[in-house]
Amino acid sequence: MGQGTEPRRGQAYDGELGAAVARAQQGDEAAFAVAYRFVQPGLLGYLRGLVGDDAEDVASDAWLEIARDLGRFRGDGAGFRGWTATIARHRALDHLRRQRVRPRSSALEQDVLELPGPQSTHDQALEAISTEHALELVRGLPRDQAEAVLLRVVVGLDGPAAARVLGKRPGAVRTAAYRGLKRLARQLGVESVTEEAPRTLGEST
């Protein structure tokens, strides 16, 4: 299977992931290992954006909880990625609290505007974001933008699923992801685009 679990391609493998999860719920350990291989790269990238070098430790804690509660999960492959991201996020926030590092509060206004985004900037930012350097830049974004970008791009969740993980409206998450990607594109020097192609990230609310 090799690099088939590359995070941004995650959605293409949701059928196989869902089948593996179903088998794992029946006690198939090999199937659980398959599900882990599908999900872990994106989950680890998400956690690196939240807790930096402690991501491996937090991921281990998250997978212990995922394995323990697997029987309670209901859903398909995409749902499993959202469920595991929610667990990982809770473990990451617990970890930050233990370190007495308070997560940055969201500066996102509640009455956000739906903003159009130049698609080419978005695509180029996505390509660059797989690098360690880009993950460091993501960590420097306002927290709402960082989490939205990580969930959408690195974990590969759609807008509504990312919104469920964060407990926010899809429109707010979409706008935060757009703003975060736009800022990243500027920092990565890929903003050589026009302001046409009014596309928003994700689906309409």
pLDDT at position 112 is 29
SS3 198: strand
Q: Which helix (H) or strand (E) holds 87?
A: helix 77-98
- Please state at what angle helix 29-51 crosses helix 55-69, rounded to 10 degrees: 140
- Please state at what angle helix 77-98 crosses helix 55-69, rounded to 10 degrees: 130
pTM for this structure? 0.71
Which amino acid belongs to residue 3? Q
* 16 vs 6: CA distance, rounded Å: 14
Beta strands in 36-139 (DSSP E): 117-118
Q: Which one, of 98, 115, 108, lies nearest residue 163 by Cα?
A: 108
pLDDT at position 38 is 92
Q: Which two tokens stand for residue 164?
A: 């469920």
pLDDT at position 93 is 92
Chunk the chain into consecutive blocks of 10 residues (it has 205) and report each block's average pLDDT, rounded to whole numbers: 44 86 96 94 91 92 96 94 96 88 39 35 51 77 91 89 94 92 81 41 41
Work out whether strand 198-199 and strand 117-118 pair parallel, antiparallel, or are unpaired: antiparallel
- Please state at what angle helix 159-166 crosses helix 77-98, rounded to 10 degrees: 30
pLDDT at position 172 is 93
pLDDT at position 130 is 52
pLDDT at position 99 is 82
